Structure 1
């Protein structure tokens, strides 16, 4: 840097310009493509079942997209502050900027945007990410940021989440992210099984799996809240202000989706008990079809299926014979009668 005539550290790396996380963009694109595909084939469905079918598809795709998107989101715990702070190391020059902190299940994202953007003959607009997912080394990424000459406010916040920081934020949020992410993957698996059960016309089990999907989402929120409250909050001083964090959009949308899944799962279970014909009509199934499973309130209600026995399920059917076949059968019986008399 001295050979290039620069006195203070400078940021030489490329700055991210995409306004959104690429992983979330891919997930949203996939589910929107699936939704558009289903809408294209919607005119082929007749009558009022078209509305029911569209409602089921939109609800199912929304739940799956939310579960998958929040697992990669960096907005589980967020905070933002406007302050007057130092900009570079070994310099007394200060800038006015908005500083944002986003904590996800796999790392943190720190933004620094000047107000105005052009200050000190530079464009102050930074967006840095530091991850602690499996296979990633947070301390190594922090060291690379030091080598690049990332501005002081970004380095200050990133240092608070290092494993050696006395704040303990690294172990706190990494533990929360690990268990929350694992629980969300189980919820996503339950969502897949829900769609399989519904497509196989096993509606009561589909309702149970949808209920399990909501329960695992709520358990994920419980794990995140408990793990992040194990240690006292660490004050984040940035110039003349203090940055406070709170639950972000990913947390609240997971809560809303989890409650939705629980309510829908309970509604399907109750409808199967009280109004099974209407439930079948909503899922475009014939009400005249005999289910493979019969539910007996005496044997445990919704959770105890009673299987039919082979004698009950198999019914003898009289197959009419043609006239020629019946005559041949009669002749054969008459020819056997003398033998029987002997």
Structure 2
């Protein structure tokens, strides 16, 4: 308790305000740059196909960007509450603050912001990340937080997710996040395959790849939702209780999975019912070259010596 010259163990360095996830920001910037590059070349596409290309490319970039971005988002299971809670360990002083909890696929994020920010001659504005990736130790990060002397509400919520906690939240959310992340990467691979197939004269297989993409995105949602069967420990923070619920990343992933299923089903339906309309949407011409013809289309002979193509005064004679 006397490590910092008799002051309770607390941040010795200047406090920094809550920041933004750098990997998430990189993903958003990359996909926005791709979308911006396409919008620059969009005026060069002539006719009505310009709008088909616009809808197709922007929808595809949205699906791919969302699948990658939710890996680095902590908005899968979120909650926040305004409360009057204790601030430091072994102290009876209380502060008015907003406490937030965000659970992602690779860890949790805990925020504490005072209202007002300046209380007890200190700046109350904390944003702490605790991860459980395969190469990182959550318990070690929690011990490091104890050594820093983080505020009481932050340590209280972080302790609930430790492996030794009787709540059992660590193992459930760790496994659920691990399997959800794995299925999302599989969905991303099928998204790349679907884009490649839809750019070739194979729209049926592109539609099937979109269906698989949506199926794996929904598998990720159901994998993370499987922890709902685990009784959630009550989070009592001073005079209020924190009750988390599914966040934006969860619902956006669910909507993306349903969107992929609808788009894939539409491509498959158009392939069998209106193939010409599907080729017009994908800006593809009919495969009538090299002797190929679509099913049900008439076969046209291209031999110039055939009587159908001979001029009126042209006679074909055979010499025996």
Tell me the TM-score normalized by structure 1: 0.84
- Residue 108 (str. 1) matches residue 146 (str. 2): no
Mapped partners of 1:92, 1:126: distance in 2: 20
Structure 1 segments unaligned to the other structure (5+ residues): 297-312, 321-333, 338-342
- Relative to structure 1, the CA distance from residue 74 to residue 16 in structure 2 (aligned partners, 3 Å threshold; closer, same or farther) is farther
Secondary structure at 2:97 match in 1? strand
Match of 2:234 in 1: 235
Mapped partners of 1:204, 1:295: distance in 2: 14
Secondary structure at 2:150 match in 1? coil
The CA deviation at 1:26 is 0.1
Secondary structure at 1:88 match in 2? coil
The CA deviation at 1:71 is 1.5
Match of 2:169 in 1: 169
Mapped partners of 1:117, 1:238: distance in 2: 18
Residue-by-residue CA offset, 1:48-76 (whole Å, 9 max, x unaligned): 11111111110000000000011111110
Match of 1:213 in 2: 213
Match of 1:253 in 2: 252
Residue-by-residue CA offset, 1:165-209 (whole Å, 9 max, x unaligned): 000000010011011111101100110001110112211111110
Mapped partners of 1:20, 1:35: distance in 2: 22
Residue-by-residue CA offset, 1:306-327 (whole Å, 9 max, x unaligned): xxxxxxx9x995789xxxxxxx
Mapped partners of 1:207, 1:237: distance in 2: 49
Structure 2 segments unaligned to the other structure (5+ residues): 307-318
Residue-by-residue CA offset, 1:268-327 (whole Å, 9 max, x unaligned): 00000100001001111113636979679xxxxxxxxxxxxxxxx9x995789xxxxxxx
More helix by share: 1
- Relative to structure 1, the CA distance from residue 111 to residue 198 in structure 2 (aligned partners, 3 Å threshold; closer, same or farther) is same
The CA deviation at 1:101 is 0.1
Match of 1:302 in 2: none
Mapped partners of 1:76, 1:38: distance in 2: 31
The CA deviation at 1:111 is 0.1
Match of 1:98 in 2: 98
Mapped partners of 1:64, 1:16: distance in 2: 33
> How many aligned residue pairs are there?
304
- Residue 83 (str. 1) matches residue 83 (str. 2): yes
Alignment check: 8 A CA contact 2:111 2:125 kept: yes
Alignment check: 8 A CA contact 2:279 2:285 kept: yes
- Relative to structure 1, the CA distance from residue 293 to residue 257 in structure 2 (aligned partners, 3 Å threshold; closer, same or farther) is farther
Alignment check: 8 A CA contact 1:78 1:100 kept: yes
Q: CA-atom RMSD, angstroms?
A: 2.3
Match of 1:269 in 2: 268
Q: After alignment, is 13-22 or 154-163 more displaced?
A: 13-22
The CA deviation at 1:17 is 4.1
The CA deviation at 1:12 is 2.7
Mapped partners of 1:36, 1:15: distance in 2: 37
Match of 1:147 in 2: 147
Q: After alignment, is 12-21 or 39-48 more displaced?
A: 12-21
Mapped partners of 2:130, 2:272: distance in 1: 50
Alignment check: 8 A CA contact 2:18 2:125 kept: no
**Structure number with larger C-alpha Rg:** 1
Secondary structure at 2:100 match in 1? strand
Alignment check: 8 A CA contact 1:281 1:287 kept: no
Mapped partners of 2:180, 2:210: distance in 1: 19
Secondary structure at 1:41 match in 2? helix
Alignment check: 8 A CA contact 1:11 1:151 kept: no
Alignment check: 8 A CA contact 2:3 2:9 kept: no
Alignment check: 8 A CA contact 1:83 1:238 kept: yes
Alignment check: 8 A CA contact 1:12 1:149 kept: no
Q: After alignment, is 195-204 or 77-86 more displaced?
A: 195-204
Match of 1:310 in 2: none
Alignment check: 8 A CA contact 1:172 1:230 kept: no
